[in-house]
Amino acid sequence: MARGKAKTRSSERSSAEEKSRGGRATPTQIIVGSERDDSGLSESVLTRVSDRLGIPRSQVSQMVETIGQVAQEAGDTDRIIEKHKGDKAALIQILLEIQRENRWLPRDVLMSVCKKLGVPISRAYRIATFYKAFSLTPQGRHQVSVCTGTACHVRGAPRLLDRVASALNINPGETSPDWRFTLETVNCVGCCALGPVIVVDGDYHGNPTPKEVERIIDSCD
């Protein structure tokens, strides 16, 4: 009988504890239920971290976003290397896939790739600076290229380039502040008969009018 009563008291105590826990929000519940900013952290957490470190809250948010981005890039890089079985002969293909994922080749990513493949960093830099497909600076979500080769030049490429640069509000070689567009010039895209030519995300547009340039740009998300 004593054992039975003890079990009953233990059961009642457990039930009371569960009820008590259920009536209070856990730290996780507090974060989930609070308003968050783009970093994914609640406003209260950002404020507390800001106060503790003595830095602006916006800087804390930016740090969190950067950490998340770097972690994502590291995971993507490891996946690509594993896909090619860590074969150093596949270095160019690995860099191409990383370029497609990140839209550029950060220095820390290049160093990580070279360390895991066992190749010198100088080799990766030679490849990255030789081929036009690679970029060592951040690129926009949409790649805009204007051909300035001889055939396109005589057909009005300078005017087209000015029109596109004005519509994007950036100069050739620049990326828009919102990381939406990167504008470049190329020597030839291989379709001289269509010149002057603008290439947006791999789509070719020959001799577009000013309104067509606006439509092409507006169609990019």
**pLDDT score, position 35:** 53
What is the reported pLDDT for 133?
A: 84
Q: CB–CB of 164/126 below 8 Å?
A: no
Which of 92-118 are b and which e, b meaning 16 or more Cβ less than 10 Å from the residue's Cβ? eebbbbbbeebbbbbeebbebbbeebe
Q: Provide the CATH number for the domain formed by 142-218 in this structure.
A: 3.40.30.10
CB-based contact 201:189 (threshold 8 Å): no
CA dist., res. 41 & res. 35, Å (int): 8
pTM for this predicted structure: 0.59
User: How far, in Å, CA of 206 to CA of 160, rounded?
Assistant: 10
pLDDT of 7:
46
Q: What is the pLDDT of residue 38?
A: 53
Q: Give dist(CA 164, CA 186) in Å, integer.
A: 14
Locate the domains of the chain by residue range.
47-130, 142-218
Gap between the Cα atoms of 8 and 89, Å rounded? 70
> Using CB atoms within 10 A of its CB, is residue 188 exposed (0-12), middle (13-18) or buried (19+)?
middle
Point out the residues of the chain with pLDDT beneath 50. 1-8, 10-12, 14-34
